Chain A
Amino acid sequence: GAVVSQHPSWVICKSGTSVKIECRSLDFQATTMFWYRQFPKQSLMLMATSNEGSKATYEQGVEKDKFLINHASLTLSTLTVTSAHPEDSSFYICSARDGREGPYEQYFGPGTRLTVT
């Protein structure tokens, strides 16, 4: 099946610093990538939708200037958490959609666990 990787798998950073998370589709071209956040014992919440070559669209309540998304190619999207604070500590998961398949066929990356101290 399709494979999506994320890097890093976990990161600890100090408050005020920025962290970049990469999401790559390894064996298919991802026309669309989605970024989710999951707090402990809660469900995945969609943060933003990233389309290759265009600006990301953000869900209500997600600050676009804080969570910078770049979908530079059909196999790579990055999420940068700028000026991270402890409340940004969460599990960040990306998913990628293969444009040749149905709209809801998504392949999830293994996630990145961010801890801000």
Chain B
Amino acid sequence: GENVEQHPSTLSVQEGDSAVIKCTYSDSASNYFPWYKQELGKRPQLIIDIRSNVGEKKDQRIAVTLNKTAKHFSLHITETQPEDSAVYFCAASILGTGKLIFGQGTTLQVKP
């Protein structure tokens, strides 16, 4: 079945460093890839997304890259700040359904 693998499960960086989270998907027909941030006790919130006709998208300190051939996509956070500490989820769409399959999540800790 459809599957999304996300790595690493935990990531600890110093404030100001960069953080990279990687995901691999199994359905070659997937065409939409969002990323969500979930702070402790809160709901997941969409932070950035990318569609299959684009290789890279950037929004201030956050960027996402997509490699359709290899079926993987990555989230890049530059100049990390303590408020970036959260759980991050990647997801991939299932064509024709409107469903998203989520990765297992990455807990990012940014140390001051």
Q: Do A and B come from one complex?
A: no
Q: Interface on B for A, CB 8 Å cutoff?
A: none
